[in-house]
Amino acid sequence: MTKRILIVDDSNFMRHRIFQCLSEAGHQVVGKARDGEEAVQFYRNLQPDVVTMDVTMRGKDGIAAAKEILAINPVATIIFYTLLDVPNLAERIRQLPIRDVIRKGDEEGLLRTLATIGGKQ
**Tell me, what's the pLDDT at 95?**
80
**Tell me, what's the pLDDT at 119?**
55
- Phi, then psi, of 18 in degrees rounded to 5: -65, -40
Q: What does the domain layout of the chain look like in residue ranges? A: 4-115
Mapped onto helix, strand or coil, the DSSP state of residue 52 is strand
The pairing of strands 50-53 and 77-82 is parallel
66-109 pLDDT tens trace: 999 999 999 999 999 988 676 677 777 778 888 888 889 999 99
- Most distant pair of Cα atoms in the chain: their distance: 34
**Tell me, what's the pLDDT at 121?**
46
16-50 pLDDT tens trace: 999 999 999 999 999 999 999 999 999 999 999 99
CATH number of 4-115: 3.40.50.2300
Number of H helices, E strands in the chain: 5, 5
